Structure 1
Amino acid sequence: MAEFRRSAALPHLETRRSCQKNSCYRPHTHDAFSIGLIDAGTSVLTGPLEGPVRLAAGDVVVIPSGQVHACNPDAGKWLYQMIHVDQGWVASLAPRRDACHLFAGIRVLRRRDLHERIIALNDAIFAGEGRDPLEAGFAALFEALGTASPTHVVTSDADPELLTLLRPVLHRLRHDESNPALSELAESVGMTKYQLVRAMRRATGLAPLAWRQNARIIRARHLLREGRPIAETAHALGFTDQSHFHRVFRAHVAASPGVYRS
Protein backbone atom coordinates (compact mmCIF):
# COMPACT_ATOMS: atom_id res chain seq x y z
CA MET A 1 0.00 0.00 0.00
CA ALA A 2 1.37 3.42 -0.94
CA GLU A 3 0.00 6.97 -0.91
CA PHE A 4 1.72 9.74 -2.88
CA ARG A 5 1.33 13.51 -2.68
CA ARG A 6 2.89 16.28 -4.78
CA SER A 7 3.03 19.85 -3.57
CA ALA A 8 1.15 22.43 -5.63
CA ALA A 9 3.32 25.17 -4.10
CA LEU A 10 6.62 23.42 -4.87
CA PRO A 11 6.26 21.25 -7.99
CA HIS A 12 9.62 19.53 -7.41
CA LEU A 13 8.44 18.22 -4.02
CA GLU A 14 6.95 14.73 -3.71
CA THR A 15 6.24 12.60 -0.67
CA ARG A 16 4.83 9.18 0.12
CA ARG A 17 3.54 7.09 3.00
CA SER A 18 3.81 3.33 2.55
CA CYS A 19 3.23 0.02 4.22
CA GLN A 20 5.07 -3.03 2.85
CA LYS A 21 5.24 -6.67 3.93
CA ASN A 22 7.39 -8.26 1.25
CA SER A 23 10.67 -7.44 -0.46
CA CYS A 24 9.72 -4.55 -2.72
CA TYR A 25 12.79 -2.64 -3.95
CA ARG A 26 15.69 -3.56 -6.17
CA PRO A 27 18.83 -1.35 -6.02
CA HIS A 28 18.00 2.05 -7.49
CA THR A 29 18.74 5.77 -7.34
CA HIS A 30 16.68 8.95 -7.23
CA ASP A 31 17.31 12.17 -9.12
CA ALA A 32 16.31 14.07 -5.96
CA PHE A 33 17.47 14.57 -2.38
CA SER A 34 15.53 12.03 -0.32
CA ILE A 35 14.69 11.84 3.38
CA GLY A 36 13.22 8.60 4.69
CA LEU A 37 11.64 7.86 8.05
CA ILE A 38 10.79 4.45 9.53
CA ASP A 39 7.44 4.71 11.36
CA ALA A 40 7.04 1.09 12.47
CA GLY A 41 8.63 -2.33 11.98
CA THR A 42 12.16 -3.02 10.84
CA SER A 43 13.87 -3.00 7.45
CA VAL A 44 17.30 -3.57 5.95
CA LEU A 45 19.14 -0.86 4.02
CA THR A 46 21.62 -2.02 1.39
CA GLY A 47 23.74 -0.08 -1.04
CA PRO A 48 27.25 1.32 -0.99
CA LEU A 49 27.39 0.59 2.74
CA GLU A 50 29.82 -1.71 4.50
CA GLY A 51 27.26 -4.47 4.86
CA PRO A 52 23.48 -4.25 5.36
CA VAL A 53 22.17 -1.82 8.01
CA ARG A 54 19.10 -2.80 10.01
CA LEU A 55 16.67 0.08 10.46
CA ALA A 56 14.09 0.37 13.23
CA ALA A 57 11.18 2.68 14.06
CA GLY A 58 12.37 6.26 14.42
CA ASP A 59 15.41 5.91 12.17
CA VAL A 60 16.00 8.60 9.54
CA VAL A 61 17.83 7.90 6.28
CA VAL A 62 19.25 10.76 4.20
CA ILE A 63 19.98 9.82 0.56
CA PRO A 64 21.54 12.31 -1.87
CA SER A 65 20.67 12.27 -5.55
CA GLY A 66 22.34 9.47 -7.51
CA GLN A 67 23.23 7.23 -4.54
CA VAL A 68 22.42 3.54 -5.14
CA HIS A 69 20.40 1.93 -2.36
CA ALA A 70 17.56 -0.46 -1.56
CA CYS A 71 15.51 -0.80 1.59
CA ASN A 72 13.28 -3.82 2.20
CA PRO A 73 11.27 -5.22 5.13
CA ASP A 74 13.20 -7.28 7.65
CA ALA A 75 10.22 -9.23 9.00
CA GLY A 76 6.51 -8.50 9.15
CA LYS A 77 4.91 -5.17 8.34
CA TRP A 78 7.07 -2.10 7.68
CA LEU A 79 5.68 1.45 7.64
CA TYR A 80 7.71 4.36 6.32
CA GLN A 81 7.60 7.86 4.85
CA MET A 82 9.84 9.27 2.13
CA ILE A 83 10.23 12.87 0.96
CA HIS A 84 11.88 13.68 -2.39
CA VAL A 85 12.91 17.24 -3.21
CA ASP A 86 15.14 18.92 -5.77
CA GLN A 87 18.69 18.76 -4.38
CA GLY A 88 19.76 22.15 -5.68
CA TRP A 89 16.72 23.83 -4.16
CA VAL A 90 17.12 22.32 -0.71
CA ALA A 91 20.84 23.16 -0.74
CA SER A 92 19.95 26.81 -1.41
CA LEU A 93 17.94 26.83 1.83
CA ALA A 94 20.82 25.52 3.93
CA PRO A 95 21.63 28.12 6.61
CA ARG A 96 24.94 26.39 7.30
CA ARG A 97 27.62 25.87 4.67
CA ASP A 98 28.90 22.79 6.46
CA ALA A 99 25.53 21.09 5.82
CA CYS A 100 26.78 20.35 2.29
CA HIS A 101 28.33 17.13 3.59
CA LEU A 102 24.77 15.76 3.46
CA PHE A 103 25.18 15.52 -0.32
CA ALA A 104 28.31 13.34 -0.09
CA GLY A 105 26.76 10.01 0.92
CA ILE A 106 23.98 8.05 2.60
CA ARG A 107 23.50 8.77 6.31
CA VAL A 108 21.48 6.95 8.97
CA LEU A 109 20.44 9.16 11.90
CA ARG A 110 18.83 8.18 15.20
CA ARG A 111 17.42 11.24 16.95
CA ARG A 112 13.87 11.56 18.19
CA ASP A 113 13.62 15.28 17.36
CA LEU A 114 14.39 14.54 13.69
CA HIS A 115 11.62 11.94 13.62
CA GLU A 116 9.13 14.51 14.91
CA ARG A 117 10.29 17.24 12.51
CA ILE A 118 9.90 14.98 9.48
CA ILE A 119 6.43 13.84 10.53
CA ALA A 120 5.34 17.48 10.94
CA LEU A 121 6.80 18.46 7.56
CA ASN A 122 5.23 15.50 5.78
CA ASP A 123 1.87 16.26 7.40
CA ALA A 124 2.18 19.82 6.06
CA ILE A 125 2.87 18.53 2.54
CA PHE A 126 -0.14 16.19 2.64
CA ALA A 127 -2.27 19.05 3.99
CA GLY A 128 -1.35 21.23 1.00
CA GLU A 129 0.59 23.92 2.88
CA GLY A 130 1.88 26.89 0.90
CA ARG A 131 5.39 27.72 -0.23
CA ASP A 132 6.52 29.84 2.73
CA PRO A 133 5.70 27.32 5.51
CA LEU A 134 7.27 24.50 3.49
CA GLU A 135 10.45 26.48 2.81
CA ALA A 136 10.74 27.35 6.49
CA GLY A 137 10.15 23.72 7.47
CA PHE A 138 12.80 22.45 5.06
CA ALA A 139 15.34 25.07 6.14
CA ALA A 140 14.93 24.08 9.80
CA LEU A 141 15.03 20.37 9.00
CA PHE A 142 18.08 20.71 6.78
CA GLU A 143 19.98 22.55 9.52
CA ALA A 144 19.05 19.83 12.03
CA LEU A 145 20.14 17.09 9.63
CA GLY A 146 23.44 18.86 9.04
CA THR A 147 24.33 19.00 12.73
CA ALA A 148 23.17 15.48 13.65
CA SER A 149 25.83 12.82 14.23
CA PRO A 150 25.11 9.80 12.00
CA THR A 151 25.00 6.22 13.22
CA HIS A 152 26.10 5.06 9.76
CA VAL A 153 27.53 7.05 6.86
CA VAL A 154 29.22 6.21 3.60
CA THR A 155 30.48 8.74 1.10
CA SER A 156 30.43 8.35 -2.66
CA ASP A 157 33.68 7.14 -4.21
CA ALA A 158 32.61 7.68 -7.83
CA ASP A 159 35.55 8.24 -10.18
CA PRO A 160 34.91 11.40 -12.30
CA GLU A 161 37.39 10.30 -14.98
CA LEU A 162 35.72 6.92 -15.29
CA LEU A 163 32.30 8.54 -15.56
CA THR A 164 33.64 10.76 -18.35
CA LEU A 165 34.97 7.70 -20.18
CA LEU A 166 31.60 5.96 -19.82
CA ARG A 167 29.57 8.94 -21.00
CA PRO A 168 28.87 7.48 -24.50
CA VAL A 169 27.67 4.25 -22.88
CA LEU A 170 25.41 6.08 -20.44
CA HIS A 171 23.99 8.19 -23.27
CA ARG A 172 23.05 5.12 -25.30
CA LEU A 173 21.65 3.27 -22.29
CA ARG A 174 19.47 6.28 -21.48
CA HIS A 175 18.28 7.17 -24.98
CA ASP A 176 18.30 4.08 -27.23
CA GLU A 177 14.81 2.65 -27.58
CA SER A 178 16.13 -0.89 -28.04
CA ASN A 179 18.56 -2.58 -25.66
CA PRO A 180 22.05 -2.02 -27.10
CA ALA A 181 24.26 -5.13 -27.08
CA LEU A 182 26.74 -5.24 -24.22
CA SER A 183 29.57 -6.13 -26.61
CA GLU A 184 28.73 -3.10 -28.77
CA LEU A 185 28.70 -0.79 -25.76
CA ALA A 186 32.00 -2.16 -24.52
CA GLU A 187 33.65 -1.74 -27.91
CA SER A 188 32.55 1.90 -28.08
CA VAL A 189 34.74 2.72 -25.07
CA GLY A 190 37.58 0.27 -25.78
CA MET A 191 36.66 -2.33 -23.18
CA THR A 192 35.68 -5.98 -23.05
CA LYS A 193 32.18 -6.85 -21.85
CA TYR A 194 33.52 -7.88 -18.45
CA GLN A 195 35.60 -4.73 -18.09
CA LEU A 196 32.55 -2.63 -18.92
CA VAL A 197 30.38 -4.33 -16.30
CA ARG A 198 33.07 -3.81 -13.65
CA ALA A 199 33.58 -0.20 -14.72
CA MET A 200 29.85 0.55 -14.62
CA ARG A 201 29.53 -0.93 -11.14
CA ARG A 202 32.53 1.06 -9.92
CA ALA A 203 31.32 4.32 -11.48
CA THR A 204 27.56 4.11 -10.87
CA GLY A 205 26.92 1.24 -8.45
CA LEU A 206 24.84 -0.59 -11.06
CA ALA A 207 25.49 -2.97 -13.95
CA PRO A 208 24.62 -1.62 -17.45
CA LEU A 209 21.13 -3.13 -17.75
CA ALA A 210 20.23 -2.22 -14.16
CA TRP A 211 21.42 1.35 -14.79
CA ARG A 212 19.30 1.53 -17.95
CA GLN A 213 16.18 0.31 -16.17
CA ASN A 214 16.75 2.73 -13.31
CA ALA A 215 17.15 5.66 -15.72
CA ARG A 216 13.97 4.69 -17.55
CA ILE A 217 11.95 4.56 -14.33
CA ILE A 218 13.26 7.95 -13.21
CA ARG A 219 12.04 9.32 -16.54
CA ALA A 220 8.75 7.44 -16.20
CA ARG A 221 8.09 9.10 -12.85
CA HIS A 222 8.51 12.52 -14.46
CA LEU A 223 6.16 11.67 -17.32
CA LEU A 224 3.50 10.21 -15.03
CA ARG A 225 3.67 13.24 -12.74
CA GLU A 226 2.99 15.38 -15.82
CA GLY A 227 -0.19 13.37 -16.39
CA ARG A 228 0.98 11.27 -19.34
CA PRO A 229 -1.07 8.07 -19.83
CA ILE A 230 0.57 4.85 -18.64
CA ALA A 231 0.50 3.17 -22.06
CA GLU A 232 1.99 6.26 -23.72
CA THR A 233 4.73 6.43 -21.07
CA ALA A 234 5.63 2.77 -21.50
CA HIS A 235 5.83 3.18 -25.27
CA ALA A 236 7.87 6.39 -25.07
CA LEU A 237 10.46 4.63 -22.91
CA GLY A 238 10.79 1.63 -25.19
CA PHE A 239 9.11 -1.03 -23.05
CA THR A 240 7.85 -3.95 -25.11
CA ASP A 241 4.45 -3.98 -23.40
CA GLN A 242 2.61 -2.52 -20.42
CA SER A 243 3.03 -5.63 -18.26
CA HIS A 244 6.81 -5.40 -18.60
CA PHE A 245 6.66 -1.71 -17.70
CA HIS A 246 4.51 -2.48 -14.65
CA ARG A 247 6.94 -5.12 -13.39
CA VAL A 248 10.01 -2.91 -13.75
CA PHE A 249 8.24 0.15 -12.34
CA ARG A 250 6.98 -1.72 -9.28
CA ALA A 251 10.46 -3.16 -8.62
CA HIS A 252 11.88 0.38 -8.43
CA VAL A 253 9.00 2.32 -6.88
CA ALA A 254 7.18 -0.36 -4.82
CA ALA A 255 3.90 0.80 -6.34
CA SER A 256 2.18 0.37 -9.69
CA PRO A 257 2.28 3.17 -12.30
CA GLY A 258 -1.45 3.69 -11.77
CA VAL A 259 -1.09 4.22 -8.00
CA TYR A 260 1.88 6.51 -8.54
CA ARG A 261 0.10 8.61 -11.17
CA SER A 262 -3.19 9.00 -9.23
Structure 2
Amino acid sequence: MTEFWHSNKLPHLESRRSCQESASYRPHSHDRFSVGLIDSGSTVFSGASGYPVPLAAGDVILIPAGHVHACNPDSGHWRYQMIQADQDWVGGLLQEGTTELVSGISVYRQPEMYGQFSLINELIFTGAAPGRIEAGFREALAACAEREPAHRLLATTDVELLHRLNPVFIRLRDDEENPLLDELAQIAGMGKYQLIRAMKKLTGFAPLAWRQNERVITARKMLREGRPLAETAHALGFVDQSHFHRVFRAHVASSPGSYRS
Protein backbone atom coordinates (compact mmCIF):
# COMPACT_ATOMS: atom_id res chain seq x y z
CA MET A 1 0.00 0.00 0.00
CA THR A 2 1.29 3.46 -0.89
CA GLU A 3 -0.21 6.80 0.13
CA PHE A 4 0.90 10.03 -1.57
CA TRP A 5 0.43 13.64 -0.49
CA HIS A 6 0.87 16.74 -2.61
CA SER A 7 -1.02 20.05 -2.64
CA ASN A 8 -1.15 23.23 -4.69
CA LYS A 9 -1.04 25.11 -1.38
CA LEU A 10 2.47 23.76 -0.67
CA PRO A 11 3.89 23.00 -4.13
CA HIS A 12 7.44 22.82 -2.75
CA LEU A 13 6.56 19.71 -0.72
CA GLU A 14 5.35 16.18 -1.37
CA SER A 15 5.34 13.02 0.71
CA ARG A 16 4.55 9.33 0.73
CA ARG A 17 3.96 6.54 3.21
CA SER A 18 4.62 3.08 1.83
CA CYS A 19 4.58 -0.60 2.64
CA GLN A 20 6.62 -2.81 0.29
CA GLU A 21 7.05 -6.58 0.36
CA SER A 22 9.76 -7.05 -2.27
CA ALA A 23 12.53 -5.17 -4.08
CA SER A 24 10.91 -2.72 -6.46
CA TYR A 25 13.21 0.22 -7.25
CA ARG A 26 15.80 0.58 -9.94
CA PRO A 27 18.55 3.21 -9.46
CA HIS A 28 17.04 6.68 -9.78
CA SER A 29 17.40 10.26 -8.62
CA HIS A 30 15.07 13.11 -7.70
CA ASP A 31 15.01 16.80 -8.49
CA ARG A 32 14.13 17.44 -4.83
CA PHE A 33 15.77 17.01 -1.44
CA SER A 34 14.52 13.74 0.09
CA VAL A 35 14.13 12.64 3.70
CA GLY A 36 13.62 8.89 4.08
CA LEU A 37 12.40 7.24 7.31
CA ILE A 38 12.48 3.48 7.91
CA ASP A 39 9.42 2.57 10.01
CA SER A 40 9.91 -1.20 10.17
CA GLY A 41 11.88 -3.98 8.52
CA SER A 42 15.35 -3.56 7.02
CA THR A 43 16.70 -2.49 3.67
CA VAL A 44 19.94 -1.85 1.80
CA PHE A 45 20.67 1.59 0.38
CA SER A 46 23.14 2.04 -2.46
CA GLY A 47 24.32 5.27 -4.07
CA ALA A 48 26.18 6.04 -7.28
CA SER A 49 29.37 4.59 -5.80
CA GLY A 50 27.65 1.24 -5.27
CA TYR A 51 28.70 1.30 -1.60
CA PRO A 52 25.89 -0.51 0.27
CA VAL A 53 24.52 0.91 3.53
CA PRO A 54 22.19 -1.31 5.60
CA LEU A 55 19.19 0.59 7.01
CA ALA A 56 16.94 -0.53 9.85
CA ALA A 57 13.82 0.68 11.63
CA GLY A 58 14.34 4.15 13.11
CA ASP A 59 16.99 5.24 10.59
CA VAL A 60 16.72 8.59 8.80
CA ILE A 61 18.45 9.21 5.46
CA LEU A 62 18.85 12.62 3.81
CA ILE A 63 19.39 12.56 0.03
CA PRO A 64 20.12 15.84 -1.79
CA ALA A 65 18.63 16.43 -5.22
CA GLY A 66 20.38 14.74 -8.13
CA HIS A 67 22.02 11.92 -6.14
CA VAL A 68 21.39 8.56 -7.79
CA HIS A 69 20.32 5.82 -5.38
CA ALA A 70 18.25 2.70 -4.86
CA CYS A 71 16.75 1.36 -1.66
CA ASN A 72 15.16 -2.09 -1.48
CA PRO A 73 14.31 -4.47 1.37
CA ASP A 74 16.58 -7.33 2.37
CA SER A 75 13.60 -9.68 2.38
CA GLY A 76 9.97 -9.69 3.34
CA HIS A 77 8.00 -6.74 4.65
CA TRP A 78 9.14 -3.15 5.28
CA ARG A 79 7.48 0.22 5.86
CA TYR A 80 8.93 3.64 5.17
CA GLN A 81 8.12 7.32 4.72
CA MET A 82 9.65 9.74 2.22
CA ILE A 83 9.33 13.52 2.37
CA GLN A 84 10.57 15.52 -0.61
CA ALA A 85 11.10 19.28 -0.75
CA ASP A 86 12.49 21.77 -3.23
CA GLN A 87 16.20 21.99 -2.45
CA ASP A 88 16.26 25.80 -2.66
CA TRP A 89 13.55 25.90 0.01
CA VAL A 90 15.54 23.50 2.19
CA GLY A 91 18.68 25.59 1.66
CA GLY A 92 16.80 28.64 2.93
CA LEU A 93 16.05 26.82 6.18
CA LEU A 94 19.64 25.79 6.89
CA GLN A 95 21.77 27.67 9.35
CA GLU A 96 25.04 29.19 8.14
CA GLY A 97 27.80 26.60 7.85
CA THR A 98 25.51 23.56 7.51
CA THR A 99 25.62 23.14 3.73
CA GLU A 100 27.00 19.59 4.10
CA LEU A 101 23.37 18.48 4.47
CA VAL A 102 22.75 19.33 0.80
CA SER A 103 26.15 18.26 -0.53
CA GLY A 104 26.05 14.58 0.33
CA ILE A 105 23.89 11.71 1.54
CA SER A 106 23.65 11.39 5.34
CA VAL A 107 22.28 8.58 7.52
CA TYR A 108 21.22 9.26 11.12
CA ARG A 109 20.49 6.64 13.75
CA GLN A 110 19.27 8.80 16.63
CA PRO A 111 15.67 8.00 17.71
CA GLU A 112 14.93 11.69 18.25
CA MET A 113 15.69 12.45 14.58
CA TYR A 114 13.25 9.78 13.45
CA GLY A 115 10.67 11.20 15.84
CA GLN A 116 11.10 14.78 14.59
CA PHE A 117 10.74 13.93 10.91
CA SER A 118 7.85 11.51 11.58
CA LEU A 119 6.02 14.36 13.30
CA ILE A 120 6.66 16.62 10.29
CA ASN A 121 5.20 14.01 7.97
CA GLU A 122 2.17 13.65 10.21
CA LEU A 123 1.70 17.43 10.08
CA ILE A 124 1.93 17.30 6.28
CA PHE A 125 -0.66 14.53 5.90
CA THR A 126 -3.08 16.11 8.40
CA GLY A 127 -2.98 19.53 6.72
CA ALA A 128 -1.23 21.53 9.45
CA ALA A 129 -0.50 25.22 8.90
CA PRO A 130 2.43 25.82 6.50
CA GLY A 131 4.27 27.85 9.14
CA ARG A 132 4.17 24.96 11.59
CA ILE A 133 5.51 22.54 8.96
CA GLU A 134 8.30 24.96 8.02
CA ALA A 135 9.26 25.49 11.66
CA GLY A 136 9.41 21.73 12.21
CA PHE A 137 11.62 21.29 9.17
CA ARG A 138 13.95 24.07 10.29
CA GLU A 139 14.32 22.54 13.77
CA ALA A 140 14.90 19.01 12.41
CA LEU A 141 17.56 20.17 9.96
CA ALA A 142 19.30 22.14 12.70
CA ALA A 143 19.29 19.01 14.87
CA CYS A 144 20.84 17.01 12.01
CA ALA A 145 23.60 19.58 11.63
CA GLU A 146 24.48 19.22 15.33
CA ARG A 147 24.85 15.43 15.14
CA GLU A 148 27.43 13.20 13.51
CA PRO A 149 25.78 10.94 10.92
CA ALA A 150 26.35 7.21 11.03
CA HIS A 151 27.24 7.39 7.33
CA ARG A 152 27.98 10.26 4.95
CA LEU A 153 28.44 9.72 1.22
CA LEU A 154 29.84 12.85 -0.42
CA ALA A 155 29.64 13.51 -4.15
CA THR A 156 32.23 15.22 -6.31
CA THR A 157 31.64 16.81 -9.70
CA ASP A 158 34.16 16.69 -12.53
CA VAL A 159 33.48 20.13 -14.04
CA GLU A 160 35.55 19.45 -17.17
CA LEU A 161 33.69 16.19 -17.85
CA LEU A 162 30.34 17.88 -17.19
CA HIS A 163 31.15 20.52 -19.80
CA ARG A 164 32.20 17.85 -22.31
CA LEU A 165 29.01 15.82 -21.82
CA ASN A 166 26.61 18.77 -21.79
CA PRO A 167 25.73 18.36 -25.51
CA VAL A 168 24.91 14.71 -24.79
CA PHE A 169 22.56 15.72 -21.96
CA ILE A 170 20.82 18.20 -24.28
CA ARG A 171 20.37 15.56 -26.98
CA LEU A 172 19.06 12.99 -24.48
CA ARG A 173 16.65 15.48 -22.95
CA ASP A 174 15.31 17.06 -26.14
CA ASP A 175 15.08 14.22 -28.70
CA GLU A 176 11.61 12.72 -29.13
CA GLU A 177 13.12 9.26 -29.63
CA ASN A 178 16.02 7.50 -27.94
CA PRO A 179 19.24 8.64 -29.67
CA LEU A 180 21.64 5.94 -30.85
CA LEU A 181 24.58 5.34 -28.55
CA ASP A 182 27.00 5.72 -31.46
CA GLU A 183 25.58 9.19 -32.21
CA LEU A 184 25.91 10.27 -28.58
CA ALA A 185 29.49 9.04 -28.45
CA GLN A 186 30.32 11.01 -31.59
CA ILE A 187 28.83 14.17 -30.04
CA ALA A 188 31.06 13.72 -26.97
CA GLY A 189 34.12 12.79 -29.02
CA MET A 190 34.38 9.42 -27.26
CA GLY A 191 34.01 5.74 -27.97
CA LYS A 192 30.60 4.41 -26.92
CA TYR A 193 31.96 2.38 -24.01
CA GLN A 194 34.04 5.35 -22.90
CA LEU A 195 30.85 7.44 -22.96
CA ILE A 196 28.98 4.91 -20.83
CA ARG A 197 31.77 4.94 -18.25
CA ALA A 198 31.91 8.75 -18.28
CA MET A 199 28.13 9.08 -17.83
CA LYS A 200 28.12 6.62 -14.94
CA LYS A 201 31.02 8.42 -13.29
CA LEU A 202 29.27 11.78 -13.55
CA THR A 203 25.62 10.86 -12.98
CA GLY A 204 25.44 7.24 -11.84
CA PHE A 205 23.50 6.35 -15.01
CA ALA A 206 24.22 5.00 -18.46
CA PRO A 207 22.96 7.42 -21.17
CA LEU A 208 19.49 5.96 -21.81
CA ALA A 209 18.94 5.23 -18.12
CA TRP A 210 19.67 8.91 -17.44
CA ARG A 211 17.09 9.88 -20.08
CA GLN A 212 14.44 7.62 -18.51
CA ASN A 213 15.12 9.04 -15.06
CA GLU A 214 14.76 12.61 -16.35
CA ARG A 215 11.47 11.71 -18.04
CA VAL A 216 10.09 10.27 -14.81
CA ILE A 217 11.13 13.40 -12.88
CA THR A 218 9.25 15.52 -15.43
CA ALA A 219 6.29 13.14 -15.35
CA ARG A 220 6.01 13.49 -11.57
CA LYS A 221 5.94 17.27 -11.90
CA MET A 222 3.24 17.13 -14.60
CA LEU A 223 1.11 14.70 -12.60
CA ARG A 224 1.39 16.88 -9.47
CA GLU A 225 0.02 19.72 -11.60
CA GLY A 226 -2.98 17.54 -12.44
CA ARG A 227 -2.11 16.78 -16.06
CA PRO A 228 -3.90 13.71 -17.51
CA LEU A 229 -1.95 10.46 -17.76
CA ALA A 230 -2.36 10.14 -21.52
CA GLU A 231 -1.24 13.74 -22.10
CA THR A 232 1.80 13.25 -19.85
CA ALA A 233 2.84 10.02 -21.56
CA HIS A 234 2.49 11.58 -25.03
CA ALA A 235 4.32 14.80 -24.09
CA LEU A 236 7.30 12.82 -22.81
CA GLY A 237 7.54 10.59 -25.87
CA PHE A 238 6.45 7.26 -24.41
CA VAL A 239 5.20 4.76 -26.98
CA ASP A 240 1.92 4.29 -25.13
CA GLN A 241 0.44 4.45 -21.63
CA SER A 242 1.49 0.88 -20.92
CA HIS A 243 5.14 1.75 -21.57
CA PHE A 244 4.79 4.89 -19.45
CA HIS A 245 3.25 2.84 -16.64
CA ARG A 246 6.11 0.29 -16.65
CA VAL A 247 8.88 2.89 -16.60
CA PHE A 248 7.16 5.04 -13.97
CA ARG A 249 6.50 2.09 -11.65
CA ALA A 250 10.13 0.93 -11.95
CA HIS A 251 11.32 4.32 -10.67
CA VAL A 252 8.57 5.27 -8.22
CA ALA A 253 7.29 1.85 -7.09
CA SER A 254 3.75 3.01 -7.78
CA SER A 255 1.57 3.56 -10.82
CA PRO A 256 1.19 7.04 -12.39
CA GLY A 257 -2.52 6.99 -11.53
CA SER A 258 -1.87 6.27 -7.84
CA TYR A 259 0.78 9.00 -7.71
CA ARG A 260 -1.52 11.57 -9.35
CA SER A 261 -4.61 10.90 -7.21
What TM-score, normalized to structure 1?
0.97
**2:101 aligned residue:** 102
Per the TM alignment, residue 51 of structure 1 is displaced from its structure 2 partner at its CA by: 2.5
Mapping of residues 33-72 of structure 1, within 5 Å: 33-49=33-49, 51-72=51-72
SS at 1:178 equivalent = coil
Unmatched runs of 5 consecutive residues or more in structure 1 = none
The aligned residue for residue 18 of structure 1 is 18
Shift of residue 172, structure 1, vs aligned partner: 1.2
Contact 1:29 1:66 in 2 (8 A): yes
CA distance in 2, matches of 1:230, 1:44: 32
Mapping 1:193-208, distance limit 5 Å: 193-208=192-207
- Cα distance in 2 for residues equivalent to 1:133 and 1:7: 16
1:213 corresponds in structure 2 to 212
Query: What SS class does the counterpart of residue 28 from structure 1 fall into?
Result: coil
What is residue 234 of structure 2 aligned with on the other side? 235
Note if contact 1:25-1:70 (Cα within 8 Å) is conserved in structure 2. yes
For residues 21-61 of structure 1, give each alpha carbon's deviation from its aligned partner in whole angstroms, at most 9, with x where no partner exists. 11111000000010000000011101135631111000001
The answer to whether the 8 Å contact 1:48/1:154 transfers is: no
**Corresponding residue for 1:150?**
149
Shift of 1:218: 0.1
Secondary structure of 1:17's aligned partner: strand
Quote how far apart the aligned CAs of 1:158 are.
2.2
2:48 and 2:203 in contact (8 A); partners too: no
Distance in 1 of aligned mates of 2:124 and 2:7: 6
**Equivalent-residue separation in structure 2 for 1:228 and 1:87 (angstroms):** 23
| Residue in 1 that maps onto 2:2 | 2
> 2:12, 2:85 within 8 Å by CA — same for their partners in 1?
yes
Counterpart for residue 136 of structure 1: 135
Query: Structure 1 CA distance, aligned partners of 2:50 and 2:191?
Result: 28
**Does the 8 A contact of 1:8 with 1:128 survive in 2?**
no
Change (3 A) 1:50 1:185: closer
Shift in Å at residue 120 of structure 1? Answer: 0.5
Consecutive unaligned residues in structure 2, runs of 5 or more: none
Deviation above 6 Å: which 4+ runs of structure 1? Answer: none
- Tell me which residue corresponds to 2:171: 172
- Larger CA deviation: 55-64 vs 1-10: 1-10
Q: How far 1:90 moved relative to its partner?
A: 1.1
Q: What is the DSSP-based 3-state SS (H/G/I as helix, E as strand, rest coil) of the residue aligned with 1:129?
A: coil
Identify if the C-alpha distance between structure 1 residues 49 and 187 changes in structure 2 by more than 3 Å, giving closer, same or farther.
closer
Identity %: 57
Give 1:107's aligned amino acid: S
1:86-101, aligned counterparts within 5 Å? 86-94=86-94, 96-101=95-100
Give CA deviations for 1:179-207 in whole Å, capped at 9, x if unaligned.
01111011012111111101101111110
TM value normalised by structure 2: 0.97
